[in-house]
Amino acid sequence: MMFSSLSSKNSLFPYRLSPPFQAGDEPPETRCRYLPVRSAPPLAPSCSCVAARVLGRPSLASPRRAGRSSPMAPHGFGGLVTRSEGLRVGRKQRVVRFMEGVSLWMAMLLVLFVQPLYAEANTGNEDSAGVLHFVDGKGQWQEPALVLGSDFDVRVSGLIADSKLVRTFKNTSDDWREGVFVFPLPEKASVYGLTMKIGERTIVGEVQPRAEAKKTYETARDAGRHAATVEQQRPNVFTTRVANIPPGAEVSVELSYQQLVSYQDGVFELSVPTTLTPRYMPGEPLAVAPQQWQGGWALPTTEVLDADAISPFTVDVDDVAADSHRASVRFTIDAGLALANVSSPSHPVVAQQDGQVFTVEPQVGEIVMNRDFVLRWQAFAGQEPGAAVFHQRWDGEDYLLAMVVPGRAGKTRLPRELTFVIDTSGSMAGESIRQAREALHLGLDTLAPGDRFNVIQFNSQPHALFMQPEMATANNLARARQYVSGLSADGGTEMASALTMALQSQRAVGRMVAVSSESDLAPKVRQVVFMTDGAVGNESALFDQIRRQLGDQRLFTVAIGSAPNMHFMREAARWGRGSYTSVQDPTDISGPLAKLFAAMEAPVLTDIKVSWQGQSASALEDSFPRRSGDLFQGEPLLQVVRGVSPAGELSVSGRLPGGGVWQQRLDLQQAAPGSGLNRYWAREKIDSLLDEARVQAQEPQKSKITELAVEHNLMSPYTSFVAVDKTPARAPESALLKDNLPTLLPEGSQSGMVRYPQTATFAPLLIALGLLGLMFSAAITLLQRRAYP
Amino acid sequence: MNRSLLLLITSSSMLLLFGLWVPVKAVVAQELLEIAWAESQARQTESRPWPWADTWPVAKLSMPELGSSMIVLAGVHGESLAFGPGQMMGGGGQQEAVVIAGHRDTHFRPLKQLELGNELRLQSRDGLWKEYRVQTTRVVDSRTELIDTHKLPAGTLLLVTCYPFDSMDAGGPLRYVVEARAEGAARVVDVESLESDHNQVLYSQAILDEIDTVAGL
């Protein structure tokens, strides 16, 4: 310890001081008088040295005081005796004694007061691994040293949106920094490029198997070279690391990714997620040693082994620098057809038209990265495309992307059994739960007499309104409305038990109903509507569960909040053979929900078969999705294929609920040139390999996926991007500090993470300093009086 | 020399006074808060202890084993903590987790002596006392740990103060956290079941009446 050497040096003083007093060659009477004094000096310095030891200021108190008292005391001692005279001396002595007494008591007080501080010296400096550097040593919030800027440049061409995302890390500190940022991307994004820019230089990154990329990056980082890497944690959550950002300098990382534009009911939609809703990690925390790449608020649990990697700290906008976490966004839309309008439900935008091309930017310039940016565009009424074909030749292979929108079939409404599941976990607190309640009220409105329904809410535990689905009578509906209005959000997100309750109870009850009442024998369509923000870490296990428990039911998901986990929505609906929607505009919840509920009521196309006329069987092998899911009204069928030249035709057939057959043919010769189709195909193929593994409950074919990803220069669960500079920039002697950049709390949501408050006052310090000062002055007064009576 | 000595004495006394002012304020404020608490219980509204106060009493915390009790204020900003421990969250629902933080130098000094199994009682504005038992005490590092309010089980009471108790450093990173679990958690359920039992009792009495009449025939 720092203080131990000091204290041993100081503690020498009393022993050095005491001999002059004990040397007894003074006149006897003065010796007697001075007996009480004798004890005082040795005690006082020893006290002040206790204080000094604790306060860490030895130079202030003990040596000066000790240095002054040791030569003076023997000196004044002699003088005092020779000049002393009668009463005057007696009074003086009393004052002196009184003062000595006071200082003695004060010293005692101080000793008692500061004594327990020894313990503290041992508990300090516990700076272990995994400490978050935006909270400083005092436990005070500290802004990250890195200022993060983002720039999205999205170019839409036909059905593919190609984005360049530039992340700028500006180092505002005097140290070298490593920046770590966990961020979301669209759920079906294919990341295909990484470029690092330092000043004028540009370094192009390459795809490497994940472990290899990590090693490359770490080696470069430790060698002081500029390096950047991006790895995939979830299909829509990524981590970027940038090593050796020089003090005061800026390093930018450009990420290229593409995504498919979603098209439903004649509306094209594209969303750019900017932040993550803090996720709930079910399971027991694992007691693992802090890992090297750790940096989240959550510890790995038995069910989410990488919880620390997908849980960046979430902070308020006010907690980051004023120019940090802002994004400039620019969309260039060339839809290939005349557009009636372009709008955004999430942000006010300005659109400029130049022929068929639209340029869209947010009205305010830079947007705060605390909610998804959503853009919609639409063709003129009556001119909505019903089909589209795109063709690309890449690396000697033909790639085709075809889209077919089934026409509207007549309505044949069947009685339904509808279960609403609403997420009332803590992450839904704030605006989200309000939206969810409203959405649920809208859902209850769609129930018709003859339908059965139930409402299940869940947080740490699920709770159902009715024991079993009840008839949609006015009375039951009123009860449900009251129940829904009283819902508030708090607690965990234990989705598995809620899913079980929703999917299993229906089945059991369905059987019971079939047996008990004969009038109810008419087939019921069983549907589950799941309203959530998807803020969970164990998505994969939940998809498994949905697949196992689904039976003949259908699961629909409704994404709630400013930054929902769209990967969860999409996949849960896919495994649940339903569809999904998201509430993007808090002022217009009914719009997207009306479409979903309409789709749920309309008949579904099943048994969809796709055939590429006049093509070999191998082409069918390379056509994705391998087995198309059911189609709801307004949903397009998308098919991507490799090795099919733009000739012949695509024929699609399906079965209508009444037993009728629906068929459509598409002439492939009219294909428009497209770009990025190979990446879309590769991503679809990787996804299909992962699906196969899930269905067969096996490990995915890692080597095959890696090979495919490297061939198409793609990011995947097993491949990462890494860019490394050749020459070292940081000298080995200067340290590199790590900065885990937080993400912003989604707008309208309440933070579930609370910082521990400051719970101590300066009172003890003030009292100690005051006592010390008083004691010190008392001692000086005492000595002065003794020296110059 | 004398002048500088005088200066030293005055400044030291000032420091001492300022230092002593904090505990004095804490003690005096609690007396005023008692009155405000009685008033807010009587009127069932937020009542401010003095007109310019930006906080108000929300609960009364008592530690029977240590013989200490104090009024808990709303919020944990510096202004409220100077007068009493502050409620960070909770207090809404019957079973909601409650987090209370207090200064280790003043109100929450007794936390040091709390032992496992000790009783804690919390009175809400409606006058109901809720009993808790201390389950664990631990020291956390506020640099690495946040309170995940969503993960707190229902019926939890967290008392937070700075650690170590005798430290001079007011900005230290360590916190002492006492976690207590409601005894009422089980009791509330009991009340519900009691009520249903009660109904059953009434019901069975009706049956008994019938039987009685039958038996009486």
Going from the C-alpha of A318 to that of each of A147, A251, A321, A652, B99, the distances in angstroms are 13, 24, 7, 53, 24
pLDDT of residue B93: 64
* Cα distance between residue A295 and residue B34, in whole Å: 46
Question: From B105, which residue of chain A is nearest by alpha-carbon distance?
Answer: A760
Confidence (pLDDT) at A655: 84
How far apart CA A494 and CA A484 sit, in angstroms, is 19
User: Who among B22, B76, B160 is closest to A763 (CB)?
Assistant: B22
- Residues A754, B99: C-beta atoms closer than 8 Å: yes
SS3 content of chain B, % helix, strand, coil (to 5): 40, 25, 35
Identify which of B178, B106, B174 has the alpha carbon closest to the alpha carbon of residue A761: B106
**Residue A241: predicted pLDDT:** 93
Chain-chain contact of A123 with B164 (C-beta, under 8 angstroms): yes
Computed over every residue of chain A, the mean pLDDT equals 78
> Cα–chain-centroid distance for residue A520?
48
Residue from B13, B15, B83 whose CB has the most chain A CBs within 10 Å, to mutate: B15
B80 to each of A178, B84, B163, how far by Cα in Å? 39, 6, 20
For residue B195, give its domain range. 189-217
How much is the average pLDDT of B72-76?
A: 85
A574 CB-near residues (< 8 Å, 6+ apart): A629
Indicate yes or no: CB of B151 within 8 angstroms of CB of A766. Answer: no
| Interface contact flag, A770 B89, Cβ < 8 Å | no
Same domain? For B119 and B149 the reply is: yes
CA gap A455, A436 in Å, rounded: 12
- Statement: residue A114 has pLDDT above 70: no
Percent of residues, chain A, with pLDDT higher than 90: 35
**Comparison of pLDDT for B39 and B199, the residue scoring more:** B39
- The nearest alpha carbon in chain B to A282 belongs to B151
Give yes or no: residues B67 and B174 share one domain.
yes
**Neighbour count for residue A92 (Cβ, 10 Å):** 16
Q: Are A489 and A440 in contact (CB under 8 A)?
A: no
Sole residue written with tokens 């005051």: A770
pLDDT at A347 over 60: yes
- The pLDDT-based confidence of A174 (bands split at 50, 70, 90) is confident
Q: State the pLDDT confidence band at A499, using cuts at 50, 70 and 90.
A: very high
Q: What is the pLDDT of residues A705-740, one digit of tens each?
A: 999 999 999 999 999 999 999 888 998 888 888 888
Quick one: pLDDT band at residue A651, thresholds 50, 70, 90? confident
- Do B99 and B204 share a domain, yes or no? no
Residues B169 and B82 in one domain: yes
Q: Is the pLDDT score of A585 beyond 90?
A: no
Helix axes A431-445, A474-485, angle to 10 degrees: 170
> Based on C-alpha coordinates, what's the Rg of chain A?
37
Residues B163, B194, single domain; the answer is no
Rounded Cα–Cα distance for residues B31 and B137 (Å): 29
B122, B198: one domain: no
Distance, CA of A779 to CA of A775 (rounded, Å): 6
Among A119-123, A630-634, A646-650, the minimum mean pLDDT is found in: A119-123
Q: What SS3 state is found at B171?
A: coil
Task: Say whether B19 and A767 touch across the interface (CB within 8 A).
Answer: yes
Q: What is the pLDDT of residue A408?
A: 66
Measured between beta carbons, the chain B residues lying within 8 angstroms of A116 are 164-166
Q: How far apart, in whole angstroms, are the C-alpha atoms of residue A202 and residue A205?
A: 10
Cα distance between residue A753 and residue A427, in whole Å: 10
Contact assessment for residue A41 and residue A95, using Cβ atoms and an 8 Å cutoff: no
How far apart (Å, rounded) are the C-alpha atoms in residues A311 and A767? 43
pLDDT at residue B1, rounded to an integer: 64
Q: B150 and A140: CB-CB below 8 Å?
A: no
**B164 with B193, same domain?**
no
Contacts of A770 in chain B (CB under 8 A): 12-19
Nearest Cα of chain B lies from the Cα of A113 at a distance, in angstroms, of: 9
Please tell me which of the candidates A139, A752, A768 has its beta carbon nearest to residue B168: A768
Q: How far lies B158's CA from each of A308, B73, B149, in Å?
A: 25, 15, 11
- Same domain, yes or no: B129 and B28: yes
Higher pLDDT, B154 or A244: A244
Say if residue A422 is exposed, middle or buried (CB neighbours under 10 Å; 0-12, 13-18, 19+). Answer: buried
pLDDT at A135 > cutoff 90:
no
Q: In terms of Cα–Cα distance, which of A40, A17, A21, A39 is closest to A30?
A: A21
- With a pLDDT cut of 70, the percent of chain B lying above it is 78
Euclidean distance between CA atoms A272 and A261, whole angstroms: 11
Predicted confidence at residue A156, as pLDDT, reads: 93
Helices (H), A382-455: 431-445
Res A54: pLDDT: 38
CA gap A92, A785 in Å, rounded: 9
Indicate whether B207 and B104 sit together in one domain: no
Q: Are residues B49 and B79 in the same domain?
A: yes
| Rounded average pLDDT over B129-137 | 89
Tens of pLDDT, residue by residue over B156-193, are: 888 999 888 888 887 788 889 898 988 754 443 333 33
Note whether A197 and A252 are within 8 A (CB).
Answer: yes
pLDDT digits (tens, 9 = 90+) for B13-62: 999 999 898 889 888 889 888 988 998 888 888 888 888 877 888 999 99
Q: Is pLDDT above 60 for A148?
A: yes
Instruction: Tell me the residue type at A62.
Output: S
Within this chain, do residues B11 and B74 fall inside the same structural domain, yes or no? yes
- pLDDT, residue B44, reads 84
State the best of B146, B152, B158, B178 to mutate against chain A, taking most chain A CBs within 10 Å: B146
CATH of the domain at B117: 2.40.260.10
Concatenate the DSSP letters of all residues of A705-734 into one string: HHHHHHHTT--BTTEEEEEEEEEE-S-TTS
pLDDT tens for A358-412 read 999 999 989 999 989 999 999 888 888 888 899 999 888 889 999 888 776 666 6
Question: Does residue A629 surpass a pLDDT of 70?
Answer: yes
- For residue B147, pLDDT beyond 80: no
Q: Which residue has the tokens 């070298």?
A: A176
Binary contact (B171, A138; C-beta < 8 A): yes
More confident residue, A162 or A46: A162
CB contact under 8 A, B168 and A55: yes
Q: What is the DSSP string of A137-160?
A: TTS-B---SEEEEEEEEEEEETTE
- Give the number of other Cβ atoms within 10 Å of residue A108's Cβ: 13
Structural element, H or E, at residue A254: strand A250-260
Residues contacting residue A176 through CB under 8 Å, at least 6 positions apart = A244, A245, A246, A247, A730, A734, A735, A736, A737
**What ipTM score was computed for the predicted complex, to two decimals?**
0.77
CA distance A498 to A282: 13
Contact B20 A767 (CB under 8 A): yes
Q: Per-residue confidence at A53, pLDDT binned at 50, 70, 90?
A: very low
Range scoring the smallest mean pLDDT among A250-264, A351-365, A638-652? A638-652
Residue A164 has pLDDT above 90, yes or no: yes
Residue B8 is nearest to which of A427, A767, A773, comparing CB atoms?
A773
Q: Are A682 and A714 in contact (CB under 8 A)?
A: yes
Shortest CB distance from A759 goes to which of B8, B11, B102? B102
Number of domains in chain B: 2
> In the structure, what pLDDT confidence band is assigned to residue A278 with cuts at 50, 70 and 90?
confident
User: For a pLDDT cut of 70, what percent of chain A falls above it?
Assistant: 79
SS3 at position A242: strand
CB contact under 8 A, B173 and A781: no
Q: Give me Rg for the CA atoms of chain B.
A: 24
- Tokens representing A185? 């991307």
Do residues A161 and A541 lie in contact, with contact meaning Cβ atoms separated by under 8 Å? Answer: no
> Phi and psi (nearest 5°) for A430?
100, -135
Are B40 and B22 within one domain? yes
